[in-house]
Structure 1
Amino acid sequence: MSAPLIELEGIATRLGGHWVHREVNLSVARGDLLALVGGSGAGKTTLLRQMIGLMRPTHGEVRLFGEPHHRGRRRERFARLRRMGVLFQHGALFSALSVYDNVAFPLREAGGLSEEEIRALVHAKLNQVELEARHALLMPAELSGGMVKRAALARALALEPELLLLDEPTAGLDPDRSAGFVRLIRQLHAELGLTMVFVTHDLDTLQALATRVAVLAEHRILAEGTLDQIRAVDHPFIQKFFRYHAAVDETAD
């Protein structure tokens, strides 16, 4: 059995004088489609940022591909980060760069490729996320919400990562575009053998995408398992959480 791609051990996080996490333990196995859910302020995005390496926990250790996230020489840390892609909630595209240059950015930063090779890779990634070559010339302000997500996903995939982290991947999308984006993510997961961790509050996304669910509440991982297993957990927060979001989804429909 291969080692987990991500391991969180004894994570405690203190922000603004308050504890967000206490003793969070979680591992992400190769091939997982792991959803991280919980109430507002539970620290889901904070935990995701720690997995990315943008934040350090107050206590505990984050291991990425079997190695402590922040240890090692700069070259070693960068090599680990190249194996991971990130899709931020609102895309986080560089507003002054075209779609083409946004996707090309990590390829240029990594170095070692000619502009001709970069061009071929950019167009391959755009095709992979079902964007056309003509979309490469557009600026982020000219894109629809769904196109922003796809362009940002193409950039996240530019370095051929093994691991993809997504923060609210369907936030801001209407039901049809949301369903199409979820279908695309599932397709990429199968075709590329990706491991994915994503934060969501949307039950449709959760049901369509997650193979495992981790519930973050009471400063820790309260429960972990398949969606059916989580729904069966007799805990007040979990039962209330799923009742509330089911009601919200029905109202939205």
Structure 2
Amino acid sequence: MSAFPVELKGVSTRFGRQWVHKGIDLAVPAGEVVALVGGSGSGKTTLLRQMVGLLTPDEGELRVFGEPLFSGSRQMQLARRRRFGMLFQHGALFSAFNVFDNIAFPLREFGVVDEGLLRDLVLLKLAMVELEPEVARRMPAELSGGMVKRVALARALALEPELLLLDEPTAGLDPDLSAAFVALIRSLHQALGLTVILVTHDLDTLAALATRVAVLSAGRILAFGTLDDIMNVQDPFIERFFHGIRSQAALARGQGAG
């Protein structure tokens, strides 16, 4: 793996006349869990979607595993895309597919296994996210919110990626389910040697998972470092986001869980 699986150099993005990002520079070290935080409209999810090629910045360069995301032949681009997986905020499961076919979808799409091996691989991914084999027969509408997240995570891990991107992974979960999902992500990060980038507004999640934090503000990376580094930055946004009474309590809970 590249020393920096994701690198952004001078990335700028606008919607209409409004610049959301202006000259973002960020290098995500291999093996880290990097949390992207910022206020509403700061472009956190936009940045995450650009990292996987769902959106294209207006200016600047974005490199994945040391190479421009869209460089090379179609085969080279597909091979690069197999090296990362993404968990969308609400799971984004295919409603017409059962759980088995949702997890099998990327395996079939990339043609990496024959149908004879498919069943074993899908059940392995279900086990990795702590779900029983019989869940494979269920439709997404039959799943609880926590199960949807786990099935979506299993699908994101189907191709055994090196890089995992998570958009608000604990959004919509109650505190107990959220803590259990965070613990699962933490154990998978350690067991699989993943690099993880997540967008979150939840300070419990951030404190329990993140090894580094990137703070987006006013279209740029305001600060990047460990949580302790960030807490020592003198800035009005950081003061509001990290130093309020409720924020301090959440960070304490999260660090205790981690």
Q: 1:9 to 1:39 in 2, by over 3 A?
A: same
Once the two structures are superposed, residues 187-238 of structure 1 have per-residue CA deviations (whole angstroms, 9 ceiling, x without a partner) of 0000000000000000100110000000000100000111111011111111
Q: What is the CA–CA distance in structure 2 between the aligned matches of 1:22 and 1:52, rounded to whole Å? A: 19
Q: Does the CA-based 8 Å contact 1:203-1:245 persist in structure 2?
A: no
Aligned partner of residue 61 in structure 1, secondary structure: strand
Q: 1:124 to 1:180 in 2, by over 3 A?
A: same
Once the two structures are superposed, residues 31-71 of structure 1 have per-residue CA deviations (whole angstroms, 9 ceiling, x without a partner) of 01000000000000000010011111000010000000112
Q: What is the CA–CA distance in structure 1 between the aligned matches of 2:245 and 2:121, rounded to whole Å? A: 40
Equivalent residue number for residue 23 of structure 1: 23
Equivalent residue number for residue 10 of structure 2: 10
Tell me if 1:68 matches 2:68: yes
Alignment of 1:1-253 (within 5 A): 2-243=2-243, 246=246
Q: Which one-letter code corresponds to 2:13 in the other structure?
A: T
Once the two structures are superposed, residues 141-198 of structure 1 have per-residue CA deviations (whole angstroms, 9 ceiling, x without a partner) of 0000000000000000000000000000000000000000000000000000000000
Q: How many angstroms does 1:16 deviate by? A: 2.2
Q: How many angstroms does 1:244 deviate by? A: 5.2
Equivalent residue number for residue 256 of structure 2: none
Query: What runs of 5+ residues in structure 2 fail to find an aligned partner?
Result: 254-258
Q: Root-mean-square deviation (CA), in Å?
A: 1.6
Q: Which one-letter code corresponds to 1:4 in the other structure?
A: F
Q: What is the CA–CA distance in structure 1 between the aligned matches of 2:247 and 2:108, rounded to whole Å? A: 46
Query: What runs of 5+ residues in structure 1 fail to find an aligned partner?
Result: none
Q: What is the CA–CA distance in structure 2 between the aligned matches of 1:139 and 1:68, rounded to whole Å? A: 37
Q: Does the CA-based 8 Å contact 2:2-2:66 persist in structure 1?
A: no
Q: What is the CA–CA distance in structure 2 between the aligned matches of 1:206 and 1:213, rounded to whole Å? A: 8
Aligned partner of residue 37 in structure 2, secondary structure: strand
Q: Name the % identity.
A: 64
Once the two structures are superposed, residues 108-131 of structure 1 have per-residue CA deviations (whole angstroms, 9 ceiling, x without a partner) of 111142212011100000000000
Q: Which moved more, 1:233-242 or 1:96-105?
A: 233-242
Q: Which one-letter code corresponds to 2:3 in the other structure?
A: A
Q: Which one-letter code corresponds to 2:208 in the other structure?
A: A
Q: Which one-letter code corresponds to 2:226 in the other structure?
A: T
**Structure 1 stretches (4+) deviating beyond 3 angstroms?**
247-250
Q: 1:245 to 1:26 in 2, by over 3 A?
A: farther
Q: Which one-letter code corresponds to 1:149 in the other structure?
A: K
Q: How many angstroms does 1:246 deviate by? A: 2.8
Q: 1:31 to 1:247 in 2, by over 3 A?
A: closer
> How many residues were matched structurally?
251
Q: Which one-letter code corresponds to 1:164 in the other structure?
A: L
Q: 1:245 to 1:62 in 2, by over 3 A?
A: farther
